[in-house]
Structures are given as structure tokens and as C-alpha cells.
């Protein structure tokens, strides 16, 4: 754990000096009355020095890698409310506007820093070694958030906001304005994140950055009905977005950490199902081991992207500027966001991943996981769900031969319950 460097407080000392004051009559004759002493002026405080960067932030030596230790993380997206009453009437009146969804920016320090509510320290106290983020406004620095994570022995799963891809008001919203070619949108946005956002200094990523997600749930947020009538679809958006991120890194002169690694890259897929008419070569899935399994939730989307990366021109009609097959093999990690029981997810996604080409050999983690949602209508627990548990999940070890839902086995814990929804206690955390 990196300890912050503390600045010594310099307290100026006022020294009172007695002076002989000579009046017009000199020092002889009638005594000169003593002057009324002026009050000692308050010392002018020295200017506040800029906050120093804690040693280790950008030195190219990450203290640990999640891919080696496993991930135990909070999915962190606290809702910043204008006033307490907004809990009962979100989206109405004065509660309509949220300041910004980039909660890693300095404006949100009162929530996550030790000088505020201390959310990061709280998450670390529960044993978390990472935090997953959503919004990423490239105008704001994330350095203080990252420094706070390192100080608490944590890393970050971050990425681009969905805004440059799917918002119709974005300057270059590529889905609407550029026929799903998202190279330039991703390149411009991520370059600003790397520089203004202070993801990178002197060529090195901040040591807290572990995973970069291109987009959150593009199968939902970048879906345009009828898009499959052409090559302009969400898979093209992710292929070109991947290419754009690589170009932004080149422009920012990013270099590997001294351990030879760079942050992993991913797409955070929902646990939805690919339409049956697309679970074939029409949807870029070139071959399957078992159609009844390989068209399952999440993994079919992963397979679409994998096969498109192998032949971007022939599938989505995109000519990449990089060897995407090479970078995919070197830097990719799989991410899914299930709201089903662990045994179901293991059977539907993990088991096929051990043998099927698009998933085999790649590590996998859950970006969100709350099995109570489907059974309890978005509540953390209910009688229909059974045991009283908080929403949790896991990073998956493909070599684990079986899952016992009540075990404390080798699958890594991933806590995805929102910090604003209350803290899960040890006896409610689900070890999978």
C-alpha cells in the first residue's frame, strides 16, 4: 500500500520587539508618554502548495495486478442527490438533474475521499481490492480518485462513457452520426481521458488502472432496430472503438509498465440473449460447438465480437489501423453482467468458455452481479429468492471443475451492490 507524502505544516512565529520611540522633545525633559502598542498583525499564511502526486502513481510499477490476485470489487455508481427528499421522488422537479455521472471526478470527493464520506476506505474495509466505474467525463481529472484507491490497496475497472457512442447530442455520436464507425469518437474521447483525465503521465498509465471497458452493454445501448440489414451495427461500433482506443494510446505515447503489461481492454456485455436468427454466420458466429449452448446469454455477443475481430473487413466492413487480432489476444478480458444464480451462470457461460474458441484462454469477470434482481424485482432479498444475501458476484476461474453455491471455494468474490444502497455485512455476502 502506498502511503501519501505529508507536507510539513509551517507555523510562522511573531516576534515582539521593544523599540525606543523618540518624540519631538527628545529623550530628555518631560518624559515622553508611552505609545499605545499596535496589535500584532496576523501572520500571512504561506500559499497552499499543489497536492503532491503520491510516490508510485505513475512510476510504472503497479503494486499488484488483479489478474494475478483475483478481483473483489464494488460496482460503484452512487446517486448524488440534490436533497434527501429526492430519494422519494427521483427524476422530478429539483431532483431531475444529476450533476454528472463521473463520480471519480474531484467534484465527488465528498463522497469517496477520507475528507468526506470515505466510500473508498469503506469498500476497502469490506475486503474489496477494486472498484468498477461507469461515467467518464474526459474534462475532469481522475488522479485524486486513483491515488485514493492506491492508498487503500485498490485498483480500478474503468473505461469510456457511453456518451460518445450512443448519445444523439454528442459532437460525434458515432452510432447516429457515423454509421457505427466509432473510431474517431473513441480516439478523441479516450485521448482526452488519457491526458486531461490524467490516466497517463510520462507514458505510464496510473498504477491504479487495471481494466478499460470500451462500452457498457452495447447490445442494449448501441442497439438500433433494423441495423442488421447492413454492416452498420453494434459489433462494428465495438471493433472500430477498440481500434480508436489503441490509436489514442499511441498519440499519448503510452508504454507498458515495467512489468511489461498494460491495462486489459473489454466490452461489458449484458446477460441478454442474441436473437436466434443472428446466432450463425449472419451474426458473424462462424462456428459453434453446441448451438443449444453457444447461443446462450452474454457469450453469443462475445463470440460475435471475437469473430469480427478475426475478419473486420469481411464481417462489419471496417478497415482497421491496427492488427486487432494481435492486440485482442494480448490485452482482452471477457466481461459479463448477469443477474442469475451462480450455478446458472456457471453452466451457461463458464463451462462453454473452457472449450469454445471465442472464449477459451481468456479470463472473465462479472461487471455487475445481483441474482436477487430477477427473483425480487430489484430488491436485495425476498422470500422468493431464499437465503438473505446481498448482491454479489465473482471473477471466474475457468479451471474450477464445479461450483457449490454455499462453498468458500476458489472463485473470486465480486461485490456489486451499490454503495448507496447500504453495506452488506459478512454474513450476507455470497461466496461463490
**At 205, is the pLDDT very low, low, confident or very high (cuts 50, 70, 90)?**
very high
Residue-wise pLDDT tens digits, 324-362? 999 999 999 999 999 888 889 999 999 998 899 999 999
Q: Kindly report the average pLDDT of the chain as a whole number.
A: 78
- Cross-strand partners of 270: 337
pLDDT at 381: 64
| Residue 171 pLDDT | 61
Beta pairing, strands 200-201 & 264-270: unpaired
Q: Which residue reads 518624540 in cell numbers? A: 23
pTM: 0.77
Under 8 Å between Cβ of 146 and 57: yes
Select the highest-mean-pLDDT range: 32-41, 138-147, 369-378.
138-147
Q: Which of 27-36, 80-89, 119-128, 414-423 has the lowest mean pLDDT?
A: 414-423
DSSP assignment of 15-82, as one string? -----PPP-TT-SSSSPPPPPPPPPPPPPPPPPPPPPPPPTTSSSS--S--HHHH---EEE------S
Maximum CA pair distance of the chain? 117
404: pLDDT strictly greater than 70: no
Q: Give which of 280, 144, 266 is closest to 199, Cα–Cα.
A: 144
Segment 275-290, tens digit of pLDDT: 889 999 999 999 999 9
What does the pLDDT read at residue 168?
Answer: 66
> 428 pLDDT exceeds 60?
no
Q: CA torsion 349→354→358→364, rounded to 10°?
A: 60
Amino acid at each position: 500500500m502506498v502511503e501519501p507524502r505529508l507536507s510539513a505544516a509551517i507555523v510562522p512565529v511573531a516576534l515582539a520587539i521593544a523599540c525606543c520611540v523618540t518624540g519631538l522633545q527628545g529623550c530628555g525633559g518631560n518624559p515622553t508618554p508611552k505609545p499605545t502598542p499596535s496589535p500584532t498583525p496576523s501572520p500571512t499564511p504561506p500559499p497552499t502548495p499543489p497536492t503532491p502526486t503520491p510516490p508510485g502513481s505513475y512510476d510504472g510499477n503497479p503494486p499488484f495486478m488483479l489478474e494475478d490476485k483475483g478481483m473483489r470489487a464494488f460496482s460503484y455508481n452512487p446517486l448524488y442527490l440534490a436533497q434527501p427528499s429526492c430519494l422519494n421522488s427521483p427524476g422530478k422537479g429539483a431532483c431531475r438533474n444529476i450533476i454528472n455521472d463521473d463520480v471519480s471526478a474531484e467534484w465527488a470527493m465528498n463522497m469517496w475521499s477520507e475528507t468526506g464520506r470515505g466510500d473508498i476506505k469503506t469498500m476497502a474495509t469490506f475486503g474489496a481490492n477494486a472498484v468498477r466505474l461507469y461515467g467518464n467525463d474526459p474534462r475532469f481529472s481522475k488522479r485524486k480518485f486513483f491515488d485514493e484507491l492506491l492508498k487503500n490497496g485498490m485498483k480500478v475497472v474503468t473505461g469510456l462513457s457511453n456518451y460518445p457512442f450512443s448519445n444523439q447530442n454528442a459532437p460525434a455520436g458515432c452510432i447516429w452520426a457515423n454509421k457505427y464507425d466509432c473510431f474517431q469518437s473513441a480516439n478523441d474521447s479516450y485521448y482526452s481521458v488519457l491526458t486531461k483525465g490524467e490516466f497517463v503521465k510520462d507514458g505510464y498509465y496510473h498504477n491504479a488502472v487495471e481494466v478499460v471497458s470500451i462500452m457498457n452493454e452495447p447490445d442494449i445501448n448501441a442497439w438500433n432496430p433494423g441495423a442488421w440489414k447492413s454492416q452498420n451495427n453494434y459489433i462494428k461500433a465495438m471493433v472500430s472503438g477498440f481500434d480508436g482506443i489503441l490509436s489514442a494510446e499511441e498519440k499519448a505515447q503510452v508504454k507498458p509498465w515495467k512489468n511489461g503489461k498494460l491495462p486489459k481492454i473489454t466490452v461489458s456485455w449484458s446477460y441478454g440473449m442474441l436473437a436466434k436468427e443472428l446466432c450463425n454466420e449472419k451474426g458473424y458466429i462462424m462456428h459453434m460447438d453446441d448451438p443449444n449452448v453457444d447461443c446462450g446469454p452474454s457469450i453469443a455477443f462475445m463470440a460475435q465480437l471475437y469473430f469480427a475481430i478475426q475478419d473486420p473487413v469481411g464481417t462489419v466492413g471496417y478497415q482497421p489501423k491496427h492488427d486487432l487480432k494481435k492486440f485482442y489476444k494480448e490485452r482482452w478480458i471477457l466481461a459479463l453482467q448477469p443477474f442469475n444464480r451462480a450455478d446458472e451462470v456457471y453452466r451457461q457461460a463458464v463451462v462453454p468458455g473452457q472449450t469454445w474458441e471465442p472464449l477459451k484462454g481468456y479470463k472473465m469477470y462479472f461487471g455487475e452481479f445481483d441474482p436477487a434482481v430477477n427473483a425480487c424485482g430489484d430488491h436485495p432479498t425476498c422470500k422468493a429468492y431464499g437465503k438473505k444475501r446481498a448482491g454479489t458476484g465473482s471473477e471466474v476461474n475457468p479451471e474450477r471443475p464445479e461450483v457449490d453455491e454455499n462453498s468458500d471455494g476458489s472463485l473470486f468474490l465480486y461485490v456489486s451492490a451499490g454503495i448507496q444502497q447500504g453495506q452488506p455485512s459478512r454474513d450476507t455476502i455470497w461466496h461463490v
